[in-house]
Structure 1
Amino acid sequence: MNVKDFDYDLPQELIAQDPLEDRASSRLLVLDKDTGKTEHKIFHDIIDYLNPGDALVINDTKVIPARLHGVKEDTGAHIEVLLLTRKKDDIWETLVKPGKKCKPGTVISFGDGLLKGTVVDVIEDGNRLIQFQYEGIFEEILDQLGQMPLPPYITHQLKDKNRYQTVYAEHEGSAAAPTAGLHFTKELLQRIEDKGVKIVHVTLHVGLGTFRPVKVDTIEEHQMHSEFYIVSQEAADTVNAVKKAGGRIICVGTTSCRTLESAADENGILHAKSSWTSIFIYPGYKFKILDCLITNFHLPQSTLVMLVSALAGREHILNAYKEAIAERYRFFSFGDAMFIH
């Protein structure tokens, strides 16, 4: 399959720059994956599409304020560091700009020396391993110095850091938000639970690899970056019981979907597991667990457009996107939502 098969034209002004005041007031495009039929709703109407006995699976990862601005100790040159993956001994895999100025041995100072980082190695893709030195608690220093790592297509500064977190974010470790979850309020989740829908927590720490452009012509040749996930025994038991009883598994976001599909066996049984996944879902993939998906609108030619096309068919997805553009839906991280059922 060619990457250009997943392209579409998006007017620049439809890229949402700011989150809405009320999370649940986004628009919701409802797509029937079998017929391609669409409906236009408001996000809080999602409750009408969920049935007692279904399971709603949410990714409770928490975004860390992973973008740091510092200076090279020897020259004072400005350096931007994006934390990607925590290793051991205060070493992080990072993305550094400008990278060519940061050879192994380079020392970068952040916040007038409150935090210092030494480049210890250059690895694949030009990413740097940086070892940090500080006094106190790393997370508290990061909260003080770091900015939310908003995607490059969002040019506005975020006034409230929490608007790039889901209301159920709990386990720190993501370099990007699982954005489909940004539409939920605590009140809406409570109403969904009161209706008899099971809410299941899983964790997948979102890496920037999710957004990495596909640089090969043939999508089968694309390599996904790996991301760490956790499925608890309780989550596995709940999902398996709901499946067995005939309920549907509804994933909130592509990250929840990839977590379940990674931890499931060929018989569609979900297992408690913590591991790394580089699963790449594109048309032809047979879903083992997921029945329905709540998701945002994704970038042209991205692996996420390929994932939703695997669920609903490429033509249905591209037609729905065309309709969303005609109806002036808001796109990407702070944009509107889609329910594929």
Structure 2
Amino acid sequence: MASQTVNGKALEFAFLQSLDQSLNGRANVQVIGSPQLQTAHNAFLSLPQTTQQKMSEGADAGINTILQLEPRLTNDNGTLQLSILPDSAGQAGDVRDVLAVRSTEGWEIGISCKNNHAALKHSRLSATIDVGNSWFGYNSTADYFRQVVPIFEELSDLRTHGMLWNQIPDKATRYYIPVLNALIDELQRLDGIYPGQIPQRLLTYLLGRHDFYKAIVKTGRRTTELQGFNLQGTLNQGSPGVRPTLRMQQFRLPTRFYDIHFKPESDNTILIVLDEGWTISARIHNASSRVEGSLKLDVQLVGLPPNLFRQTLGW
């Protein structure tokens, strides 16, 4: 595995281990064995002990705060099962990595673990990928394909000749900017066809179908940023006679695009500004040194609702 993947898997194990150890003697916990758990454990053990220690401390900071938000981790009946979700779950719309479940209570919470980055999605664009269908459940328009197909066909032709990206002058002008303009046009077209639905479906595509905590561990800064995406109100629930020590609000998905434009002084990044406080950044890039018939988008949330639960924890 690439180093970034190893670090990501290792952090998942650090969070599961921290949650398991924090609940020792406070809840009946069962860790579910699985290939993905073994992969995460092996990744953790492959790192230097100093890195393992930093990941564990970062995970402990996040878990200590989650315990104050989620009294049902320690105060409900039945066995609490801890597991690591397979990568295929993300492809099916579940961005959570570590899951805590009380099946007898019909209750669960999940954590998305990020090591030194906050990216949500790495989506591909190509001549054949139907962005509208894969992102929103609505087919892309013929106008979108008329805009992008010639661009990606040209890239595919360059690929057959073994071209490298560093051999192509003005790649942003020739490929990045036209593809991003086509994406902007398509978002606006689909928003006109399906009023009020595309903004919220875009967020659902990016954030998944379940409420979750997002923990961004920055080992260099020795901080853990914890965010609570409580869109459906399933987080921060009390148990009989016990209220959460920390409280968070439920908030809403957007229904309007305010503006979609290129980031100032950028030729590879667009900003999607929506109501309810959401702003999305989408950076297009080539995922390989060799030219391919597709391009990638690195998608992040750069503007968050003001009532989102968000704490930066030092350790």
TM-score bracket relative to the smaller structure: under 0.3
Return the TM-score normalized by structure 2: 0.26
Q: Which has the higher contact order (CA 8 A, sep 6+)?
A: 1
